[in-house]
Every structure is written in C-alpha cells, then in structure tokens.
Amino acid sequence: MTTPRRLLARLRVIMARGAAPLGDLVDVVAAEMTAEVCSVYAMRPGDLLELAATCGLNPDAIGRTRLRVGEGIVGLCAATGTVMNLPDAQNHPAFAYRPETGEEPYASLVAVPLRRASRTVGVLTVQNRSPRNYDADEVEALETVAMLLAEVLATSGASDGAEEGVASTLPRVFTGKTLAPGIVIGPVVLHGPRFKARRLLAEDPEAELDRLHEAADRMQRRLDELFAARMPDGDAPREVLAAYRLIAADTGWLRRVGGMIQGGLSAEAAVQRVTGELRDRMRRIGDPYLRERLSDLEDLAGRLLSELDGNSADSPVVPGAILLARRLGPAELLDWHARGIAGVMIEEGSPAGHAAIMARALGLPTLGGARGAVDAADPEDEAVLDADESQLILRPESDVKDVYLRALEARIALQAGWAVLRDKPAVTKDGQGVRLMLNVGLNLELDQLDITGAEGIGLFRTEIAMLARGAIADTAEQAAIYARVLDAAGNRPVLFRTLDLGGDKLLPGAAVPEEENPAMGWRSLRIGLDRPVLLRRQMRALLLAAGGRPLQVMFPMVATVAEFRAARALLEAEAKRVRPAPERLSIGTMLEVPALMWQLPALLREVDFISVGSNDLLQFLFAADRGNPALSGRYDLLSAPVLDLFEQLLVAARMARVPVSLCGEAASRPIEALVLVGLGFPTLSMPAPGILPVKAILAELDLAEFRHVLASVRRNAAGEPSLREAIAAWARERELPL
Ligand code: PEP
Ligand code: MG
C-alpha cells in the first residue's frame, strides 16, 4: 500500500534536481505503488501513442510499441480521457496484445490519461501480476503523478508538440449561435490558461494553505472592485453578479483544493487539479445550466491562480481584437473588455450564460458554440466575427474580408451624414437619371439595399458565399442562398454572376493544379465549362431560387463568343427542366477579357446584356496584376485607352440595343463615376459604401457641361498617362463633393 504523500515527496526530490528523465520517474512510481510495471506512453503525430518509458516491460519496446488512439486499453484511455482501473486487463474486450513488450504475466492494470490544457498528451500505466483493484487513494496519487508527467512530457518536447505545430494559413469557417449581434474584423486573441504552475509539489502544506487563503481573499476583493468599476447597467448583469458571488463564496471547492495541498501539492497545482476534475465531471453532465457554472468556476480558478502567482495586474491591451475562448466567465469578459476587445467567440457559450448576458449589456458582438475554433486559431491570425450571421471566419480570404470591410464602411458612411440622400433618386443636376446598383457577395450585405437606396444588385458574386462557408454548397443550399437574395431585392433587379473561382479565390482543399499565372489560368467560367456538373448544379439552383420570377445571370471571364454560347446553352437546357420556368431569363456576359472587344458584333447578337468588370479588364489591358500594390498607381482607368475602349463599347451596344453596365470597384469612386456617367454608362454597380457619395456628386453635376469638358480634356491630353488631374481640377473648381 502506497502513501501518496511519500510518492509525491520522492518525486519532488527527483524533480528538484532539474529536468528529470522519464525513466527515473517511472522507476519511483513503480516502487512506491508496489507495482511490477509502470510505463508512460507519449502522444505522437498521427494520433499514435508510443511507449516512451517503462519500468518492468521489455526496454527494447521503448520507441517501438505504438497504439493508435482508441486501440487497446491505453488507446481507449487516451480516447475517452478517463481512468481505466482493471483487475483483469487481458480479458478486457479492448485489450491489444503487443508481444515485444513481454506483458503476458500482468493481470491488473490502471491507465491514467496525461492531460494538459484540455489535450491528452499521453497515458500513464501501472501493472501488477496479481489481479487487484487499485483503491481510490492509489488512483488519486496516480492522477497527481499524471499531472506532473504531462508537464514533463510537454516541457521535454517528448509529446507530439501539436500545440506548437505548423500554423495553418487556410481559411476556416465556424458556425455558431448569435449571443450578441454585430460584426468585427480584427486579430484574434486566445483566452487560455494565463498561467502554468512552476512548482507542482510543495514541502510545507501549512504554508501553502496560508498562501491559498490569502490569495482567495485578494481575489474576492478584486472581484468586488472589478464589478463596482465596470459593471454595465441593467438588471440582468446584477443577477449575474449575485450568482457569481455565490459561487466565489462557496467554500466547497476551496476545501477540496486544501485537501490536495495536504496531500503534497503546491497551491497552484492543487487549484489546477481540482478545476480539471470539475471540468471532467461537468463535461459528462449535459445540463446547460451546470455547464455554464463550469465557466464561472474556471474563471474563478484562473483568477485564483493569478493571485497565487502575483501577476493579476499585468494584462496587455488588445484593442479591436476578437477574443476566442473555450469557456469564459463574466468577470473574465469584463477584464477583456477593459483591455479593448471588440468581439467574442465562446465555444461553450449559450445565450443564457453569464458571459453572454454581460456581452449584450456591453454591446460586444458575441458568438457561441463555434466548436474547434480555439484549436484551429493561431495568435497571429486575423478573423471576421459575423455575429449577425452566426459565423466566425478564421484567416478570411481577402475577397471575403473586403466584403466585410465594405459592409462596415457603409454603415459608417451612412452615419457620416449621407443618409438624407437615401430615398432620393440618382439624377444629375440637369436631370439625367443614372441607375446605381450594389455589388454584393454575402447575404449580410443585403440590408444595404434599403440602407443605401440602391436600385438593385448589379453584381452578386456567388463564389463569395462559397468561400465564406469553405465549400461549394449543394443545389438546395445554393438555391436557398439565392432565393434569400431575390426575396430581399423584391422588385429590384439582381444580376447573378456564376462561380468565379480560381485565381486568388480558392476553396480550402480544392485540388487545383499549380499554375505560374493563376489570374490567367484555369479559373472562373473555364472551370465551369470543363466541369459542367458544377456549373449546371449552380444554374439549377438559380432557376429554383427564381421560382418563376425573372432571372438574370451573367458569366465571368468570357474570352470568346464560343465560350459564352456554350455557357448559355447549358443554362437554357437547365431552364427547360426546372419548373416553374422564370418569367424572363436574361443571359449576359461580363467584359473582363479584352479580346471580347474585337468580337463585339457577334457577341452583341447573342447576349442580353453586358457588364464591364473593370477590375479584371484593366489588369489584362495593361498587363498589370490587380493585386500588386507596386503597380496600383501606374495605370489609370481615367486614361485615353480605357475611355476609348468604353466609348467604342457603349456606341456598339447602343446600336445593338444591348444594355451595358460597369461593376468594377472604380464605379464607387466619385471622380471615376463622373467620367463613366459622362461617357454614357446608364448603370453603375458598386460596393455599398460608394452609393451615397456617388449619388451626392451626381446631384451636383451639370452633365451637359461636363460632357464638353471631358471631350476637350480627352482631345488635349494625347499621350498623357492619365486624365485624372485635369478632370479633378475642373471638379474642384465646380466645388463638387469629391
Ligand atoms: C471585375 O473583375 O471587375 C469584377 C467585378 O469581378 P471581380 O472583382 O469579382 O473579379
Ligand atoms: Mg473579375
């Protein structure tokens, strides 16, 4: 029979000498437990448990014997995270025989998981020849040893090191529940154990108990101060405070900590042990209320540890960051709020939880339940927290991030005083109406239709929703997305663009061949025509979403009339199969590849409309990567070649009676918008933040006068790389709101 205290005392002596070899530790445990065998299995990459040290089994098996997580009793212990105490292990159904270990003679076995920061990093086993049940004290002693060994494995680098593993760069999307609405874009901060016990074992239990009680008193005082200083108004937060105080004042868990200290642990290690136990117990309870109390308890334990460590004050500020937490207590939320976080995701957070109540009172956008996000995130990562749509997007694609940035900018622009223009039509001072439409990529932008007063959606980038969810949705899901767009638009027109994937818009895990020049590579409609199943699935979804309403679809990156014809044929074939058929089906193309300009006569006979994608058109026209900031100032849309091209297009399209619009980002910049309207574009489609400023400048514009000015600037600027300054000078003179 062992005395746990003597075991811990011996371990303390060994560990005080510095980094203790695992072999020495297992020898001591075997001796003190009067066990014939004590072994440690360490977690290796690929979820393998490898025999890392043993006293009693064949030493040649070290580094050779491996079990998958879930395989054998050791694997089962790791998979379930629970202690296995078996008098007759060899007859257990999970037993996996490994001849190289020489373990035939041993009947009884205890396996204890080695856990660190909620991860299993290995397994400790003890075996005896005689069939025996290890008693509760022995198992408890082994659990304490397991805690030490987990630290030893982690600090010696003997475990798989997955915590420090290679950072992922792929976007990840997590769905959860909205606990408090709002959108935030920012760096992530991880809420984790702020603290690691430096000293696990202590010599003088009385002194440790004194430390514990002093720290608990300090914690109580600090909590009172925190709540007094930062408590948001309202009844609910007050109820939270009352409930929280009750838990803080409950001496049950502190008594249990005291008991562990009496057993030889340091105060810090005892707090961690008790919290770990509670965590395991509560996790097995499904009741959401009790699980919420676990967050409160962990919050308190974290505070107590900080007090014991004397570091409760040194919290860095993290302005604008998104906090990711597995669990979060209300006091922790208040602390983080004081440090400047702008949004929160709590994996185990529920609407009725204390942290959620606090978050609502503080107006912090908060998402609950996005499981796996904490493990997937690295401290350097950026994220979009879209608590309105219940999503967290980790490492967002730049296109997805841009959409969110624009949505936020639009909200700000509106607050900045343009709102009066919302319900006014877009007309020039001399009465020429212009249709201003929205570029939209996610459903969250749909409210911009009403907010900006746009006349419809001139570009719905269907791939953005797929990028945001990390995969191409099936037909029904896609149809639901598109139907929501049409519902939100009501009588306003919507131009759907088919998937424009490839180039820089890659889905995670997509098997795409390496390309030297992805922007000019296998992308967009080219993929659609080579993989017609995908394209037809999307077309079907669009037709289903329309459900008899008018439908407008356009194709991106069309380079030849033949490509357009092929895509159109696919859509028309699908349209014959879907009922109800759309009241009107308009099929158009984007003009992004310059070659189309020399196919205009044929093209205009086959398309119902054209929308100029000036972002891509300019990059191909000037052979200048649109994503390269070093080139961004080098070529200008407001230059003779581009304006000549637009003019030729407008003239040809007018004669063929084909409507033309422009939907690149340029349309949202007031001076560009002036010129485009001056050239004769009747419709401009742009990101939401542009609508009201463009409306404002058009309202001040004498179009007839400007057309003369534009013509003369174009005549006089032959050979100039840009006409921008001449036009801007005129606009400033006219005091237009640039
Ligand atoms: C464009 O190229 O101008 C366009 C609108 O498409 P995207 O920016 O999505 O490539
Ligand atoms: Mg494009």
Tens of pLDDT, residue by residue over 352-364, are 677 887 787 777 8
Confidence at residue 317, expressed as pLDDT on a 0 to 100 scale: 79
Position 348 confidence tier, pLDDT thresholds 50, 70, 90: confident
- Residue pointed to by tokens 């043993």: 54
Reported as a single tens digit per residue, the pLDDT across 153-211 is 876 655 554 444 445 678 889 999 888 888 999 999 998 765 556 678 888 889 999 99
Query: CA 582, 586, 590: angle at the middle one, nearest 5?
Result: 140
**Pairing state of beta strands 382-386 and 183-191?**
antiparallel
Q: At what angle do helices 640-656 and 614-621 cross, to 10 degrees?
A: 130
| Average pLDDT of span 702-718 | 95
* CA 613 / ligand 1 centre spacing (Å): 5
Closest CA to ligand 1's atom 8: 615
- Integer CA distances (angstroms), 158 to 70, 100, 371, 711, in order: 20, 22, 28, 75
pLDDT at 667: 94
pLDDT value for 290: 63
Q: Which two tokens stand for residue 667?
A: 């349309």
Structure tokens, 385: 């927290």
Mean pLDDT of 423-437: 96
Percentage of the chain lying above the pLDDT 90 cut: 47
Span 425-432+610-657+659-738 CATH architecture: Alpha-Beta Barrel (3.20)
Best residue among 616, 662, 684, 686 to mutate for probing ligand 1, ranked by most atoms within 8 Å of CB? 616
Q: Hey, what long-range contacts does 722-725 have (CB within 8 A, 24 or more apart)? A: 722/636, 722/638, 722/639, 723/636, 723/638, 723/639, 723/640, 723/643, 723/675, 724/636, 724/638, 724/671
Ligand nearest the Cα atom of residue 459: 1
Report whether pLDDT(1) > 60: no
Q: How far is the CA of 330 from the centre of ligand 1 (A)?
A: 44
What's the rounded mean pLDDT across residues 511-524? 81
Q: From the CA of 461, give the closest atom in ligand 1.
A: 9
Provide the phi-psi class of 177: left if phi over 0, else alpha when psi is between -120 and 50, else beta: beta
pLDDT for the residue 44: 87
Atom 1 in ligand 1: which residue has the minimum CA distance?
613
Q: Is the pLDDT of residue 232 over 80?
A: no
Residue among 38, 55, 191, 354 flagged as catalytic: 354
Residue-wise pLDDT for 587-631, tens only, equals 999 999 999 999 999 999 999 999 999 999 999 999 998 877 677
pLDDT attached to residue 349:
82
Report which secondary-structure segment, H or E, holds 552.
Answer: strand 551-555
- Are 67 and 94 a contacting pair, CB within 8 Å? no
* Residue 251 pLDDT > 50: yes
What confidence score (pLDDT) does residue 296 get?
76
Q: Are 502 and 463 in contact (CB under 8 A)?
A: no
Q: Is 438 helix (H, G, I), strand (E, B) or coil?
A: strand
Predicted confidence at residue 105, as pLDDT, reads 81
pTM confidence score: 0.55
Whether the CB-CB separation of 496 and 553 falls below 8 Å is answered with yes
Q: Looking at residue 122, what is its pLDDT?
A: 92
Rounded (10°) CA dihedral 134, 135, 141, 143: 70
Active site residue 354: yes
The rounded Å distance from CA 456 to ligand 1 centre is 18
Q: Is 62 a residue whose pLDDT tops 80? A: yes
The pLDDT, as a whole number, for residue 5 is 75
> Closest Cα to atom 4, ligand 1: which residue?
613
For the CA of 463, the nearest atom of ligand 1 = 9
Q: Which atom of ligand 1 is nearest to the CA of 611?
A: 5
pLDDT higher than 80, residue 294: no
Chain segment 379-424, per-residue pLDDT in tens: 779 999 998 888 999 999 988 999 899 888 876 776 667 778 888 9
Find the ligand nearest to 617 CA.
Answer: 1
pLDDT digits (tens, 9 = 90+) for 445-489: 788 899 889 999 999 999 888 876 767 899 999 999 999 999 999
Mean pLDDT over each residue of the chain, to the nearest integer: 87
Pocket of ligand 1 (CB under 6 A): 459, 461, 500, 592, 613-616, 663-664
So what's the pLDDT on residue 315?
64
Q: Whose CA is nearest to atom 6 of ligand 1?
A: 613
CB atoms within 10 A of CB 415: 9
Give the pLDDT mean for 511-526. Answer: 83
Q: Tell me the percentage of the chain whose pLDDT exceeds 70.
A: 89
What pLDDT is attached to residue 80? 85
CATH number among 3.40.50.1820, 3.40.50.300, 3.50.30.10, 2.40.50.140, domain 172-397: 3.50.30.10
Residue 435 has pLDDT above 70, yes or no: yes
616 CA distance to ligand 2 middle (Å): 5
Asked if 4-154 and 172-397 have one fold, the answer is no
Q: Which ligand has the minimum distance to the alpha carbon of residue 663?
A: 1
Average pLDDT over every residue of 270-286: 75
Which ligand 1 atom is nearest residue 614's CA? 3
pLDDT at 165: 42
Is the domain 456-608 a CATH 3.20.20.60 member? yes
Q: What angle do CA 732, 735, 738 make, to 5 degrees?
A: 65
Residue nearest to atom 9 of ligand 1 (CA): 461
**Owner of token pair 């006569």:** 601
Residues with CB under 5 A from ligand 2 (ion): 592, 613, 616
Distance 594 CA to ligand 2 centre (A): 12
Question: Which of ligand 1's atoms lies nearest the C-alpha of 592?
Answer: 2
pLDDT at 532: 95
Residue 294 CA from chain centroid, whole number = 25
Could you tell me which residues come within 8 angstroms of residue 653 by beta carbon, excluding any fewer than 6 positions away? 600, 604, 610, 659, 660
> Is residue 685 a contact partner of residue 667, using CB atoms and an 8 Å limit?
yes
580 cis-preceded (ω within 30 degrees of 0): yes
Domain 4-154 CATH (choose: 3.40.50.300, 3.30.450.40, 1.25.40.10, 3.30.1360.120): 3.30.450.40
- Sequence spans of domains, the chain: 4-154, 172-397, 425-432+610-657+659-738, 456-608
| pLDDT, average across residues 659-688 | 95
- Report the alpha-carbon distance of residue 493 to residue 227 in Å, rounded: 52
